[in-house]
Amino acid sequence: MSITIREADLGDPRDSAAIVALVDSYAGGQFGGGVPLPPSVREGMVAGLRAHPTTLVLLAHDADTPIGIAVCFWGFSTFQARPLLNVHDLAVLPEAHGRGAGRALLAAAEARARERGCCKLTLEVLDDNQRARGLYASVGFADAAVGASAFTRFLSKPLSTALEATR
């Protein structure tokens, strides 16, 4: 098995189908909420990614089979006056776990961030996702802190859901 990583072509129907399938697999799993994506989200995902000006999607393949994805967005750190890259979704198909695809996707994201002069990579992970937390720690991620000891917690305020938007 040889895992390859490449940037997704959001105009390619094969890549588009892979993106939707991989994110849907993640959404339906234990750490993605356990519910498959609604049809409206599946149908609008790639167009939305294509329209978003800071999108970077990386796909992991085993031969010709897509097995993993990193959906990333470029951002900016005002505290460092430099760009950053947020890994919004990192997912590997359950049957491909343990083969190094997640590690390879993170390395590819880091390489692209370094090319752009980013000050950091960011991501969020559920507290009880020990497998992912172990991977992230092994490649250098740690709890974010401002100053010496003020740890940062990622919070969100839902404004609407995809289901509400279609009603």
Which residue, chain included where needed, has tokens 């049957």? Answer: 95
- pTM for this prediction: 0.90
What residue segments make up the domains of the chain, in order of their start?
3-124
**In the CATH hierarchy, which top-level class contains the domain 3-124?**
alpha beta
- Of 119, 164, 107, nearest to 144 (Cα)? 119
**pLDDT tens for residues 8-29?**
999 999 999 999 999 999 999 9
Contact 152, 123 (CB under 8 A): no
Per-residue pLDDT reduced to its tens digit, 121-162: 999 988 888 889 889 989 988 888 776 667 777 778 888 765
